[in-house]
């Protein structure tokens, strides 16, 4: 397949491009580099052993999307391009809706117009809102806690309704849990701009001495050690989930959780990082972060049953590869 990967230079997109190349697919990356670097594309080519086509542009721009589909014979789309900071989305909701939702509308419309039958979308566990754990795909979704989350829910609905109206159009909504880690080569990984919001890149920067100490947001949650519990998934497992999703695409809308299926607390992740990498992580407890949920993790059985996919790499591999990438920067 010739796969259009929007946001292919980003954290999850870059790992997925490598997996696509390794699986024998061709890749067209469309990225505006608003949160990534050009040299990542060369690294993808090095790791994947083949070249990719790069189109630099904004997929929330109608003309860019039209040209992408006119100038490339595309068989499927994986739509990663999006802004992903929760606090930024609260401050700039319209920028988030424009970027994340308008891009989905334009890409879906172009697929219908050009007869492109497969669309895989990067959704998030945030669409479950505050719900019982583990999260199951058939649960009723609750209002997400941020404009960022609302853009994911809106995109899911737009794609679901489009698939219902267009016979043969195959939409796969992938709800990611917490991707961490990096490619074992250390060439690609998560390198956010500015001070990281997310836990793993914060830990690696503390380990490197770029930040002084980790703030653990909340130690009074109803969890075994009082700190927040999440379902961390190695980014290479997540990348492989996209190949499985593309290869099993069928008309209509399919929804899959991509997670490991088990919960890990903040302190457990810190402990694993220290033990595996032999580096101390100074930390202090801080108040709960507004909007955070105490604990959630995936029921990942549907992906295993229907896609033949499950997460293979454990927490030790995640923290090892995250640290290897940070030391390589
Ligand atoms: P990222 O910021 O590393 O990658 C996104 C990429 O999209 C970047 O390369 C950025 O430059 C590009 N981009 C953004 N807007 C664009 C636009 N309008 N046109 C062209 N390119 C654009 O983020 P990521 O962690 O790789 O996340 C990828 C997707 O997965 C996002 O949609 C994100 O919301 C979703 N997601 C991420 C997580 C996570 O924890 N990382 C969790 C759930 C869902
Ligand atoms: C966050 C977003 C979520 C988004 C995901 C991926 C919020 C409320 N949720 O998920 O919508 O899909 O990122 O981009 O922002 N923690 C600390 N100290 C830190 C950072 C985090 O203790 O410096 C804790 C958090 O309280 C949480 C856990 O670590 O318990 C994981 O946090 P994080 O990596 O930010 O992910 P989420 O909050 O799960």
Rounded distance from Cα 107 to ligand 1 centre (Å)? 15
pLDDT for the residue numbered 256 = 99
pLDDT for the residue numbered 240 = 98
State the Cα angle at 78 between 235 and 298, rounded to 5°: 45
295 with 223: CB under 8 angstroms? Answer: yes
pLDDT for the residue numbered 21 = 98
pLDDT for the residue numbered 110 = 98
pLDDT for the residue numbered 16 = 99
Residue minimizing CA distance to atom 29 of ligand 1: 80
- CATH class, domain 2-180+233-260, is alpha beta
Written as six digits, the tokens of 245 are 């999703």
Of 19, 84, 235, the one to substitute when testing ligand 1's pocket (max ligand atoms within 8 A of C-beta) is: 84
What DSSP element (H or E) covers 79?
Answer: strand 76-79
pLDDT for the residue numbered 270 = 98
Nearest ligand 1 atom to the CA of 179 is 40
| Closest by Cα among 157, 170, 154 to 82 | 154
Which pLDDT tens digit goes with each residue over 74-129? 999 999 999 999 999 999 999 999 999 999 999 999 999 999 999 999 999 999 99
Number of the ligand closest to the Cα of 89:
2
Low-confidence ranges of the chain (pLDDT < 70): none
Does residue 283 carry a catalytic annotation? Answer: no
Long-range contacts formed by 197-204: CB under 8 A, 24+ apart:
197/85, 197/86, 197/87, 199/230, 199/266, 199/269, 200/232, 200/269, 200/318, 200/319, 200/322, 201/322, 203/269, 203/270, 203/273, 203/281, 203/322, 204/322, 204/323, 204/325, 204/326
Rounded distance from Cα 199 to ligand 2 centre (Å)? 6
Look up the pTM and report it.
0.98
- Identify the active-site residue in 11, 96, 148, 232: 148
Q: Which residues line ligand 2 (CB under 6 A)?
A: 84, 86, 124, 126, 148-149, 178, 197-199, 202, 214-217, 228, 230, 266, 289, 291-292
Q: Which residues line ligand 1 (CB under 6 A)?
A: 6-7, 9-13, 30-36, 58-60, 80-84, 99, 103, 122, 124, 176, 178-179
Rounded distance from Cα 149 to ligand 1 centre (Å)? 13
Of 29, 82, 197, the one to substitute when testing ligand 1's pocket (max ligand atoms within 8 A of C-beta) is: 82
pLDDT for the residue numbered 114 = 98
Rounded distance from Cα 178 to ligand 2 centre (Å)? 8
Nearest ligand 2 atom to the CA of 269 is 29
Rounded distance from Cα 100 to ligand 1 centre (Å)? 9
pLDDT for the residue numbered 34 = 97
pLDDT for the residue numbered 4 = 98
pLDDT for the residue numbered 250 = 97
pLDDT for the residue numbered 17 = 98
């Amino acid at each position: 397949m010739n796969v259009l990967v929007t946001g292919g230079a980003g954290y999850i997109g870059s790992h997925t491009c490598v997996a696509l190349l390794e699986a024998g697919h061709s890749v067209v990356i469309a990225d505006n580099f608003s949160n990534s670097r050009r040299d990542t594309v060369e690294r993808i080519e090095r790791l994947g052993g083949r070249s990719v086509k790069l189109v630099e542009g904004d997929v929330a721009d109608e003309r860019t999307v039209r040209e992408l589909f006119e100038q490339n014979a595309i068989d499927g789309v994986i739509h990663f391009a999006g802004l992903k900071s929760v606090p930024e989305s609260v401050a700039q909701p319209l920028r988030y809706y424009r970027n994340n939702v308008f891009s989905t509308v334009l890409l879906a419309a172009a697929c219908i117009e050009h007869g492109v039958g497969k669309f895989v979308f990067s959704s998030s566990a945030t669409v479950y809102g505050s719900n019982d754990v583990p999260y199951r795909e058939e649960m009723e979704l609750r209002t997400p806690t941020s404009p960022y989350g609302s853009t994911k829910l809106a995109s899911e609905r737009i794609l679901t309704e489009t698939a219902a109206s267009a016979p043969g159009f195959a939409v796969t909504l992938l709800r990611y849990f917490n991707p961490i880690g990096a490619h074992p080569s250390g060439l690609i990984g998560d390198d956010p701009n500015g001070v990281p919001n997310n836990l793993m890149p914060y830990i690696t920067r503390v380990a490197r001495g770029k930040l002084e100490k980790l703030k653990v947001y909340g130690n009074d949650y109803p969890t075994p050690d009082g700190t927040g519990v999440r379902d961390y998934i190695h980014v290479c497992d997540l990348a492989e989930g996209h190949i499985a999703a593309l290869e099993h695409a069928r008309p209509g809308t399919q929804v899959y959780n991509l997670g490991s299926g088990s919960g890990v607390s903040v302190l457990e992740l810190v402990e694993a990082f220290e033990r595996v990498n032999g580096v101390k992580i100074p930390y202090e407890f801080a108040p709960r972060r507004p909007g955070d949920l105490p604990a959630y993790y995936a029921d990942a059985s549907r992906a295993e049953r229907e896609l033949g996919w499950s997460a293979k790499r454990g927490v030790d591999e995640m923290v090892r590869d995250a640290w290897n990438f940070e030391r390589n920067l």
